[in-house]
Amino acid sequence: MTVQDDTIHVFIGYDSRQAVLYNVAQHSIVRHCSKPVSITPIRLDQVKSIHDRPRVSIQSTEFSFTRFLTPYLRGYDGWALFMDCDTLLRADLAELWALRDERFTVQCVKHDHQPASSVKFLGHEQTRYGKKNWSSVMLMNCAKCTELTPEYVNSASGLDLHQFKWLESDDQIGALPREWNFLVEYYAHDENAKLLHFTEGGPYYEATRHVDFADEWWREFSIANSSEDSEVWALAAAAGKPKP
């Protein structure tokens, strides 16, 4: 098997207001992964030539809709994993990659997520709908996702996209174990969680600074910004650059 064939292809939603979340999430992947991994941020400004729909108030992130461009960005070839940026890996992503099943078009954790609050982080509206958070972590069989053209993603309703109405049937959606999209603070603490999702807000916001697993996020943040063999922080301090 070639390295290319053995590569795990990951796409992470990128929000320009939350760059640190992307950086910590991708670092946690690299640190734990036992196989070669290719990580691509889905940045709104980098797909504007194919995605120019006006943003509406219910879009809490810049990648609310562009996540569904993942199969297109892979050339509708092979598999890809999409994940939100407010995530943290605690285990080897190769374990999740090994769960790919050719019987399905998409695989995800089938939450019954019914938020108690009507407001999300940063004051955004909390929208309630069936299959909520199913699309926050998706294994996508890209060759079977040809309905997700840039034109469709640019025009379909949010519910059509997030409720997988672009599939012929829900039978095309395979289930993943809950540990691979563990909704922090919505589910009770579980040390077996492998992919944490801070969907209710993470330790990087004042209002949610003490959420479950906060210490692990900060540990990853510290490691991601470490430099054991250089004087980077001393030099940054000397240059008047505050340590993050």
Q: Quick check: is 243 in a domain?
A: no
Pairing of strands 79-83, 173-175: unpaired
CA dist., res. 68 & res. 73, Å (int): 10
Among 174, 175, 218, 166, residue whose Cα is nearest residue 196: 218
pLDDT in tens, 114-167: 766 655 555 555 576 679 999 999 999 999 999 999 999 999 999 999 999 999
Q: Quick check: is 3 in a domain?
A: no
Q: So what's the pLDDT on residue 169?
A: 97
Q: How many Cα neighbours within 13 Å face the side chain of 66?
A: 27
Q: What percent of the chain has pLDDT over 70?
A: 89
Mean pLDDT over each residue of the chain, to the nearest integer: 90
Q: Quick check: is 2 in a domain?
A: no
Predicted confidence band of residue 2 (pLDDT cuts 50, 70, 90): very low
Q: Quick check: is 181 in a domain?
A: yes
Greater confidence, 58 or 99? 99
Number of domain units in the chain: 1
Q: Is-above-0.85 flag for pTM? A: yes
Mean pLDDT of 50-79: 92
Output the six-digit token pair for 128: 């309630």
Q: Quick check: is 203 in a domain?
A: yes
**In 10 A of CB 48, how many CB atoms?**
10
pLDDT in tens, 169-206: 999 999 999 999 999 999 999 999 999 999 989 999 99
- Which structural domain range is residue 182 located in? 8-238
Residue 137's beta-bridge partner residues?
A: 83
Greater confidence, 241 or 70? 70
Coil, strand, or helix at residue 13? Answer: strand
Q: Quick check: is 184 in a domain?
A: yes
Mean pLDDT of 99-119: 85
CATH of the domain at 212: 3.90.550.10
Please state the separation of Cα 234 from the chain's center in Å. Answer: 33
pLDDT in tens, 196-234: 999 989 999 999 999 999 999 999 999 998 877 677 777
110 in Cβ contact with 177 (< 8 Å): no
Q: What share of the chain is helix, strand, coil (3-state, %, to 5)?
A: 35, 15, 50
Q: So what's the pLDDT on residue 60?
A: 81
185 in Cβ contact with 117 (< 8 Å): no
Among 55, 90, 57, residue whose Cα is nearest residue 212: 90
Q: So what's the pLDDT on residue 227?
A: 79
63 in Cβ contact with 86 (< 8 Å): no
- 176 burial type by CB count under 10 A (0-12 exposed, 13-18 middle, 19+ buried): buried
Q: Which residues contact 18 (CB under 8 A, 6 or more apart)?
A: 61, 85, 86, 204
Output the six-digit token pair for 159: 């519910």
Predicted confidence band of residue 4 (pLDDT cuts 50, 70, 90): very low
- The answer to whether residue 20 scores a pLDDT higher than 90 is yes
